[in-house]
Amino acid sequence: MVALIFGVLQVAPGVFAYFYHYAIGKHSFKKAHLLSPFFILGVLLTNVSTFIAVACITKDSEILRAVLAGVFVALAVVGGVFYYRKGAGSVLYTPRKLARALLNGARNVSGALDAFLLGIITGFSEIMFTVPLAIMVILQIQTFDSAIIQFGLVAIEVLLAIVPFIVIMIMYRTGGNLADIERMRVRNKDFYRLMLCFLFILLAAGLYNFGIF
Protein backbone atom coordinates (compact mmCIF):
# COMPACT_ATOMS: atom_id res chain seq x y z
CA MET A 1 0.00 0.00 0.00
CA VAL A 2 2.88 2.36 0.78
CA ALA A 3 4.30 1.58 -2.67
CA LEU A 4 0.97 2.60 -4.22
CA ILE A 5 1.19 6.00 -2.56
CA PHE A 6 4.74 6.45 -3.84
CA GLY A 7 3.36 5.65 -7.28
CA VAL A 8 0.62 8.29 -6.98
CA LEU A 9 2.84 11.15 -5.80
CA GLN A 10 3.39 13.48 -8.74
CA VAL A 11 6.22 15.93 -8.04
CA ALA A 12 9.09 13.66 -9.10
CA PRO A 13 7.32 12.22 -12.19
CA GLY A 14 6.31 15.76 -13.22
CA VAL A 15 9.87 17.06 -12.97
CA PHE A 16 11.12 13.95 -14.76
CA ALA A 17 8.70 14.54 -17.65
CA TYR A 18 10.03 18.09 -18.09
CA PHE A 19 13.63 16.93 -17.70
CA TYR A 20 13.21 14.29 -20.42
CA HIS A 21 11.46 16.78 -22.71
CA TYR A 22 14.22 19.38 -22.41
CA ALA A 23 16.96 16.72 -22.69
CA ILE A 24 15.47 15.63 -26.02
CA GLY A 25 15.33 19.25 -27.20
CA LYS A 26 18.90 20.08 -26.18
CA HIS A 27 20.45 16.76 -27.12
CA SER A 28 18.61 13.74 -28.56
CA PHE A 29 16.40 10.82 -27.62
CA LYS A 30 19.52 8.74 -27.06
CA LYS A 31 21.09 11.32 -24.75
CA ALA A 32 17.83 11.76 -22.82
CA HIS A 33 17.58 8.00 -22.43
CA LEU A 34 21.17 7.83 -21.17
CA LEU A 35 20.68 10.68 -18.67
CA SER A 36 17.34 9.53 -17.28
CA PRO A 37 18.75 6.67 -15.10
CA PHE A 38 20.90 9.23 -13.26
CA PHE A 39 17.83 11.29 -12.41
CA ILE A 40 15.99 8.15 -11.20
CA LEU A 41 19.09 7.10 -9.23
CA GLY A 42 19.08 10.49 -7.48
CA VAL A 43 15.44 10.07 -6.47
CA LEU A 44 16.09 6.51 -5.29
CA LEU A 45 19.14 7.63 -3.28
CA THR A 46 16.98 10.19 -1.50
CA ASN A 47 14.33 7.59 -0.71
CA VAL A 48 16.85 4.99 0.46
CA SER A 49 18.62 7.59 2.62
CA THR A 50 15.28 8.49 4.16
CA PHE A 51 14.58 4.82 4.92
CA ILE A 52 18.01 4.37 6.51
CA ALA A 53 17.73 7.52 8.63
CA VAL A 54 14.24 6.56 9.79
CA ALA A 55 15.33 2.99 10.57
CA CYS A 56 18.09 4.31 12.82
CA ILE A 57 15.74 6.34 15.01
CA THR A 58 12.39 4.52 14.82
CA LYS A 59 11.36 2.47 17.85
CA ASP A 60 7.90 0.94 17.78
CA SER A 61 5.46 2.14 20.45
CA GLU A 62 1.76 2.84 20.87
CA ILE A 63 2.49 6.57 21.02
CA LEU A 64 4.38 6.45 17.73
CA ARG A 65 1.53 4.55 16.08
CA ALA A 66 -1.03 7.01 17.38
CA VAL A 67 0.99 10.01 16.18
CA LEU A 68 1.62 8.36 12.81
CA ALA A 69 -2.09 7.63 12.40
CA GLY A 70 -2.82 11.31 13.04
CA VAL A 71 -0.17 12.33 10.50
CA PHE A 72 -1.74 10.03 7.91
CA VAL A 73 -5.16 11.60 8.50
CA ALA A 74 -3.62 15.05 8.01
CA LEU A 75 -1.89 13.89 4.83
CA ALA A 76 -5.18 12.44 3.59
CA VAL A 77 -6.68 15.93 3.91
CA VAL A 78 -3.65 17.49 2.21
CA GLY A 79 -3.75 14.94 -0.59
CA GLY A 80 -7.50 15.22 -1.10
CA VAL A 81 -7.86 18.98 -0.85
CA PHE A 82 -4.55 20.81 -1.32
CA TYR A 83 -2.27 18.53 -3.38
CA TYR A 84 -3.26 20.24 -6.63
CA ARG A 85 -3.63 23.99 -6.89
CA LYS A 86 -6.97 25.33 -8.07
CA GLY A 87 -7.37 25.55 -11.81
CA ALA A 88 -7.64 23.37 -14.86
CA GLY A 89 -3.98 22.31 -15.03
CA SER A 90 -1.84 19.92 -13.02
CA VAL A 91 0.06 22.47 -10.90
CA LEU A 92 0.93 20.91 -7.54
CA TYR A 93 1.05 22.21 -3.97
CA THR A 94 4.82 22.82 -4.00
CA PRO A 95 5.92 26.39 -3.16
CA ARG A 96 6.29 28.42 -6.33
CA LYS A 97 9.98 29.19 -5.75
CA LEU A 98 10.75 25.50 -5.32
CA ALA A 99 8.66 24.62 -8.38
CA ARG A 100 10.51 27.21 -10.48
CA ALA A 101 13.86 25.94 -9.22
CA LEU A 102 12.97 22.35 -10.14
CA LEU A 103 11.74 23.32 -13.60
CA ASN A 104 14.80 25.50 -14.22
CA GLY A 105 16.97 22.56 -13.14
CA ALA A 106 15.10 20.28 -15.54
CA ARG A 107 15.57 22.82 -18.34
CA ASN A 108 19.31 23.24 -17.78
CA VAL A 109 20.52 19.66 -17.26
CA SER A 110 23.61 19.13 -19.40
CA GLY A 111 25.15 15.95 -18.03
CA ALA A 112 24.87 12.94 -15.75
CA LEU A 113 25.86 14.85 -12.60
CA ASP A 114 23.21 17.51 -13.23
CA ALA A 115 20.56 14.83 -13.73
CA PHE A 116 21.65 13.00 -10.58
CA LEU A 117 21.59 16.14 -8.41
CA LEU A 118 18.22 17.16 -9.84
CA GLY A 119 16.88 13.73 -8.87
CA ILE A 120 18.16 14.16 -5.30
CA ILE A 121 16.59 17.61 -4.92
CA THR A 122 13.35 16.41 -6.46
CA GLY A 123 13.24 13.46 -4.07
CA PHE A 124 13.57 15.78 -1.08
CA SER A 125 10.73 18.00 -2.35
CA GLU A 126 8.14 15.48 -1.12
CA ILE A 127 9.79 14.78 2.23
CA MET A 128 6.54 15.55 4.08
CA PHE A 129 5.08 12.43 2.47
CA THR A 130 8.12 10.18 2.28
CA VAL A 131 9.19 10.38 5.95
CA PRO A 132 5.85 9.15 7.40
CA LEU A 133 5.68 6.47 4.72
CA ALA A 134 9.23 5.39 5.53
CA ILE A 135 8.30 5.10 9.22
CA MET A 136 5.34 2.91 8.22
CA VAL A 137 7.57 0.62 6.18
CA ILE A 138 10.09 0.34 9.02
CA LEU A 139 7.31 -0.57 11.45
CA GLN A 140 6.18 -3.23 9.02
CA ILE A 141 9.58 -4.81 8.47
CA GLN A 142 10.36 -4.78 12.21
CA THR A 143 7.68 -7.46 12.60
CA PHE A 144 9.92 -9.86 10.65
CA ASP A 145 13.02 -11.45 12.16
CA SER A 146 14.66 -12.38 8.87
CA ALA A 147 17.02 -9.75 7.51
CA ILE A 148 16.44 -11.15 4.02
CA ILE A 149 12.70 -10.55 4.27
CA GLN A 150 13.28 -7.07 5.67
CA PHE A 151 15.64 -6.17 2.84
CA GLY A 152 13.26 -7.66 0.28
CA LEU A 153 10.31 -5.61 1.52
CA VAL A 154 12.30 -2.36 1.37
CA ALA A 155 13.61 -3.27 -2.09
CA ILE A 156 10.07 -3.90 -3.35
CA GLU A 157 8.85 -0.56 -2.03
CA VAL A 158 11.79 1.29 -3.59
CA LEU A 159 11.56 -0.46 -6.97
CA LEU A 160 7.79 0.04 -7.28
CA ALA A 161 8.37 3.75 -6.71
CA ILE A 162 10.19 4.02 -10.08
CA VAL A 163 7.24 2.65 -12.08
CA PRO A 164 5.92 6.18 -12.95
CA PHE A 165 9.33 7.08 -14.43
CA ILE A 166 9.33 3.95 -16.57
CA VAL A 167 5.83 4.78 -17.83
CA ILE A 168 6.96 8.28 -18.82
CA MET A 169 10.05 6.93 -20.59
CA ILE A 170 7.90 4.46 -22.52
CA MET A 171 5.52 7.24 -23.55
CA TYR A 172 8.38 9.32 -24.92
CA ARG A 173 10.00 6.34 -26.64
CA THR A 174 6.72 5.41 -28.34
CA GLY A 175 6.13 8.85 -29.86
CA GLY A 176 4.54 10.71 -26.96
CA ASN A 177 5.52 14.22 -25.91
CA LEU A 178 5.22 16.56 -22.94
CA ALA A 179 1.76 17.72 -24.01
CA ASP A 180 0.51 14.11 -24.05
CA ILE A 181 1.90 13.49 -20.57
CA GLU A 182 0.41 16.70 -19.22
CA ARG A 183 -2.99 15.79 -20.67
CA MET A 184 -2.74 12.41 -18.97
CA ARG A 185 -1.85 14.01 -15.64
CA VAL A 186 -4.70 16.53 -15.89
CA ARG A 187 -7.13 13.80 -16.90
CA ASN A 188 -6.14 11.63 -13.93
CA LYS A 189 -5.56 14.26 -11.25
CA ASP A 190 -8.92 13.67 -9.54
CA PHE A 191 -8.09 9.96 -9.42
CA TYR A 192 -4.65 10.70 -7.94
CA ARG A 193 -6.21 13.03 -5.38
CA LEU A 194 -8.82 10.43 -4.41
CA MET A 195 -6.22 7.66 -4.18
CA LEU A 196 -3.95 9.72 -1.93
CA CYS A 197 -6.83 10.49 0.41
CA PHE A 198 -8.16 6.92 0.40
CA LEU A 199 -4.79 5.21 0.90
CA PHE A 200 -3.69 7.49 3.73
CA ILE A 201 -7.02 6.93 5.50
CA LEU A 202 -6.55 3.18 5.08
CA LEU A 203 -3.06 3.39 6.60
CA ALA A 204 -4.36 5.44 9.52
CA ALA A 205 -7.27 3.04 10.07
CA GLY A 206 -4.91 0.08 9.88
CA LEU A 207 -2.63 1.56 12.54
CA TYR A 208 -5.58 2.48 14.76
CA ASN A 209 -7.50 -0.78 14.54
CA PHE A 210 -4.92 -3.46 13.90
CA GLY A 211 -1.61 -2.09 15.14
CA ILE A 212 0.18 -2.28 11.78
CA PHE A 213 -1.49 -2.52 8.38
Report the alpha-carbon distance of residue 122 to residue 45 in Å, rounded. Answer: 11
pTM: 0.83
Instruction: Give me the phi and psi of 92, to 5 degrees please.
Output: -95, 180
Instruction: Give me the phi and psi of 176, to 5 degrees please.
Output: -75, 170
Give the pLDDT of residue 113.
93
For the chain, which ranges sit under pLDDT 50? Answer: 212-213
Give the pLDDT of residue 208.
66
Question: In total, how many domains does the chain have?
Answer: 1
**Domain that residue 99 falls in:** 2-210
Within a 13 Å sphere around the CA of 141, how many CA atoms are in the beta-carbon half? 23
Between helices 11-26 and 96-107, what is the axis angle to 10°? 30
Give the pLDDT of residue 213.
46
